[in-house]
């Protein structure tokens, strides 16, 4: 057996680019038919309603056009994406039983170490199914559930049935329908009333097989007064075939609950990242999004918060870094659907080396949502003259008793700032790097330490060679 080829396509992104030999126990034909969808469902031993749901989603998928706004998706050959690839390992409860090559990749990504040190649970998705899962004992005793979606469908069927794709219905858009038809893997978290999970739960997704799509589903339910920080990180090795990621995240934040959902996404540069994330927040609940978009060839990602209960709150902090060959169309959507709701959107983007960063946002205030407050701020930094940076925030206000502010800025690093730092004895390169670090600092400080370090490393790697 080949031990794994090392692809070094950037300076040190290498650790994300180790490809394992592809081994399958089951693999669907290319393209999408009801038979494939049925086969996926059968393979997973799913209840009938889920099989029905998948078939219905497939119908919707076939009836919807590919969106024509935003990114150019003409390169994405949907028929050729193998939708379901399961590694030939079953669920393991102990790390030792995970196959060596898979383990090694995760080791490089630092997952088991993180777990030993501080993390409550690790769900690592390898291709389409979760291969490794574990959670701290005391949380299980409190009734916290953290498992993969397949298990959840079987063991927590009622809860899943009540919530699954209710927030992001397959009718939402073409890729949501595709997700509904072929979803596989992902995390399910249930935190009972009043339970506070004091350390972050973490899951790392990973794509491996060439031409494979990834359609993981994340469903998180926080009951009254519960608290959770969930971290989702993504990384994938580079292959020559275009890869599609059309995941779906549904977050239910009940009365007084508080959920922080952090993502550092670093897909390799051939991935189409067409992810749909949505949260609904009940009375006095809080949703906090922390989102870093670094990787992928094309991203279209706009996490949405629906503030449904009075006093609900949403915060979005995001950074997008578009480099050579990347078109990252990201942003945030907030719907104020109840009185006294608050939202804060803080988005930053950096583009360099021909990268194109696009902020696209929506702020909607329903007619009944009086006394709501919102601030939206977008800042863009362009590091050279080959790159592009656009901002398109849509603001729709449905009543008068509100307080809304929006600001956006675009520009490059000012010569004065560089000159000042250089006059203090700092080299030009270092001065530029310092300014960029200062620019992303508000986001870095929202992240758990190891992610902040990872993000800073990513930025450092991106800047080397670019500046000077």
Contact footprint for other proteins (CB under 8 A): 367, 370, 380, 382-385, 387-412
Q: 3-state SS string over the chain? A: CCCCEECCCCCCHHHHCEECCCCEEEECCCCCCHHHHHHHHHHCCCCHHHHHHHHHHHHHHHHCCCCCCCCCCCCCCHHHCECCEEECCCCECCHHHCCHHHHHHHHHHCHHHHHHHCCCEEEEEECCEEEEEEECHHHHHCCCEEEEHHHHHHHCHHHHHHHCCCCCCCCCCHHHHHHHHHCCCCEEEEECCCCECCCCEEEEEECCCCCECECCEEEEEECCCCEEEEEEEEECCCCCCCEEECCEEEEEECCCCEEEEEEEEECCCCEEEECEEEEEECCCCEEEEEEEECCCCEEEECCEEEECCCCCEEEEEEEEEECCCCEEEECCEEEECCCCCEEEEEEEEEECCCCEEEEEEEEEECCCCCCEEEEEEEEEEECCCCCEEEEEEEEEECCCCEEEEEEEEEEECCHHHHHHHHHCCCCHHHHHHHHHHHHHHHHHCCCCHHHHHHHHHHHHHHHCCCCC
In the complex, least distance from residue 13 CB atom to other proteins, rounded to whole angstroms:
24
In the complex, least distance from residue 263 CB atom to other proteins, rounded to whole angstroms:
25
In the complex, least distance from residue 324 CB atom to other proteins, rounded to whole angstroms:
15
In the complex, least distance from residue 376 CB atom to other proteins, rounded to whole angstroms:
9
Pick between residue 408 and residue 418 the one whose CB is nearest to other proteins. 408
Pick between residue 64 and residue 388 the one whose CB is nearest to other proteins. 388
In the complex, least distance from residue 288 CB atom to other proteins, rounded to whole angstroms:
24
In the complex, least distance from residue 351 CB atom to other proteins, rounded to whole angstroms:
9
Pick between residue 146 and residue 316 the one whose CB is nearest to other proteins. 316
Pick between residue 239 and residue 364 the one whose CB is nearest to other proteins. 364
Pick between residue 388 and residue 437 the one whose CB is nearest to other proteins. 388
In the complex, least distance from residue 358 CB atom to other proteins, rounded to whole angstroms:
9
Pick between residue 222 and residue 381 the one whose CB is nearest to other proteins. 381
In the complex, least distance from residue 327 CB atom to other proteins, rounded to whole angstroms:
13
Pick between residue 59 and residue 407 the one whose CB is nearest to other proteins. 407
Are the CB atoms for 209 and 148 separated by under 8 Å? Answer: no
Pick between residue 12 and residue 428 the one whose CB is nearest to other proteins. 428
Pick between residue 405 and residue 465 the one whose CB is nearest to other proteins. 405
Pick between residue 131 and residue 383 the one whose CB is nearest to other proteins. 383
In the complex, least distance from residue 463 CB atom to other proteins, rounded to whole angstroms:
15
In the complex, least distance from residue 164 CB atom to other proteins, rounded to whole angstroms:
31
Measure the CA angle with vertex 124, ends 120 and 129; round to 5°. Answer: 135
Nearest-CA neighbor of 231 among 318, 285, 176, 289?
289
């Amino acid at each position: 057996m080949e031990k794994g080829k090392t692809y070094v396509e950037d300076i040190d992104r290498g650790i994300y680019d180790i490809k394992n030999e592809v081994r399958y126990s089951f693999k669907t034909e290319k393209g999408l038919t009801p038979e494939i969808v049925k086969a996926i469902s059968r393979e997973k031993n799913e209840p009938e309603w889920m099989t029905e749901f998948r078939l219905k989603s497939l119908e919707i998928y076939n009836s919807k056009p590919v969106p024509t706004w935003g990114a150019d998706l003409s390169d994405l050959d949907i028929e050729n994406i193998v939708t379901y690839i399961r590694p030939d390992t079953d669920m393991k409860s102990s790390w030792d039983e995970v196959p060596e090559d898979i383990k090694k990749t995760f080791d490089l990504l630092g997952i088991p170490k993180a777990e030993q040190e501080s993390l409550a649970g690790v769900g690592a998705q390898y291709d389409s199914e979760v291969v490794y899962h574990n959670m701290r004992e005391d949380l299980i005793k409190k009734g916290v559930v953290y498992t993969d979606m397949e298990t959840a469908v079987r063991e927590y069927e009622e809860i899943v049935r009540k919530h699954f794709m209710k927030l992001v219905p397959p009718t939402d858009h073409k890729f949501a329908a595709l997700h509904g038809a072929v979803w596989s893997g992902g995390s399910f978290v249930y935190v009972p009333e009043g339970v506070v999970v004091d350390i972050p739960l973490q899951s790392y997704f990973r794509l491996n097989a060439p031409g494979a799509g990834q359609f993981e589903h994340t469903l998180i339910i926080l009951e009254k007064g519960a608290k959770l920080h969930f971290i989702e990180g993504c990384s994938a090795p580079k292959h020559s075939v275009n890869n599609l990621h059309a995941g779906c995240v549904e977050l239910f934040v009940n009365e007084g609950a508080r959920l922080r959902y952090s993502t550092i996404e670093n897909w390799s540069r051939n991935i189409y990242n067409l992810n749909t994330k949505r949260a609904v927040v009940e009375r006095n609940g809080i949703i906090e999004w922390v989102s870093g978009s670094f990787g992928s060839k094309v991203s279209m990602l706009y996490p949405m918060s629906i503030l449904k209960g009075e006093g609900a709150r949403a915060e979005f902090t995001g950074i997008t870094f578009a480099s050579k060959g990347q078109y990252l169309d990201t942003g945030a959507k907030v719907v104020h659907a109840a009185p006294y709701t608050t939202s804060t959107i803080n988005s930053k983007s950096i583009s360099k080396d021909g990268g194109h960063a696009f902020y696209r946002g929506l702020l909607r205030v329903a007619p009944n949502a009086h006394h709501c407050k919102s601030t939206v701020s977008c800042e863009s930094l362009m590091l050279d003259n080959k790159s592009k940076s656009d901002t398109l925030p849509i603001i729709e206000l449905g009543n008068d008793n509100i307080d809304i502010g929006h600001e956006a800025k675009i520009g490059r690093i000012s010569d004065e700032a560089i000159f000042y730092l250089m006059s203090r004895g700092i080299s030009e390169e270092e001065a530029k790097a310092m300014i960029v670090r200062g620019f992303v600092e508000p986001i870095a400080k929202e992240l758990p330490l190891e992610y902040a370090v990872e993000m800073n490393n990513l930025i450092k790697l991106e800047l080397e060679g670019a500046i000077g």
